[in-house]
Amino acid sequence: MESMRSVLSLFRDVSFVSIKDSGQTFLVNITTLGQKPKQEEDEPASAWTAFISLDPSFPICPTPEYVIRNTKALVSRSGVATNIPHHFELPAMATGELIALGGNLLEYPVSYVPRDSDSGSFLSGIPLNVYHCYVITADSNTQRTIMRFSCPTKLADRQPDLHPNVLSKRIQDRWQPRLSVVEGHGWHEAKVSMELKTLERVAL
């Protein structure tokens, strides 16, 4: 991370975040993370990341306490914006907790919250809206993926903020302004595509 910062100032606020004993790592813009709304004060559907229980009806649930706690830990330890540490290690956590926290750190609009009793075969046979979010160059010859995620179709049908047309626009409105920061690197437009899929197994 130190060498990346020395080459490109865009990485000044980015830290390497690892989760103890999990092998999971993330690159996180700590400054951007600190500017997100105080999710514990938000209504569940108004925070950027909607946390979805894997109960059969897929209810939106409040931001999990461990997500709030670990996010605050990253932001509070970041220090002065010009001197953000290169690496953070968060404590070990259960797989379900890691899934929900990862969705928040990666700014997924939807993050699943598995129950302790859930098996490893998540969302098998469930109709899903599967999103691909990416950026393209001005000539459209090159694209890079920002994120891929899914949302249960029956939840999107009843939750206005998660309707495909609305959610696609929300994603574009969130990411397009950020491209101005990397304008000199060729990225021109944020795009979103969505497919309806029913899969045997889904990676959360």
| Three-class secondary structure assignment of the chain | CHHHHHHCHHHCCEEEEEECCCCCEEEEEHHHHHCCCCHHHCCCCCCCCEEEECCCCCCEECCCHHHHHHHHHHHHCCCCHHHCCCEEEECCCCHHHHHHHHHHHCCCCEEEECCCCCCCCCCCCCEEEEEEEEEEECCCCCEEEEEEEEEEHHHHHHCHHHCHHHHHHHHHHHHHHHHHHHHHHCEEEEEEEEEEEECCCCCC
Question: What pLDDT was estimated at residue 171?
Answer: 95
Q: Report yes or no on 167 lying in a domain.
A: yes
Q: Of 50, 78, 113, which residue constitutes the final position of a domain? A: 113
Question: What pLDDT was estimated at residue 128?
Answer: 97
Q: What is the pTM of this model?
A: 0.84
pLDDT tens, N- to C-terminus, the chain (204 residues): 566 555 556 677 888 999 999 999 999 988 888 775 544 444 444 478 999 999 889 999 999 999 999 998 888 866 555 577 888 999 999 989 999 999 999 999 999 998 766 666 788 899 999 999 999 987 878 899 999 999 999 999 999 999 999 999 999 999 998 887 766 567 788 999 999 999 988 876
Residues of the domain holding 145: 127-198
Domain identity same for 193 and 132 = yes
Q: Report yes or no on 121 lying in a domain.
A: no
Domain identity same for 131 and 178 = yes
Question: What pLDDT was estimated at residue 119?
Answer: 60
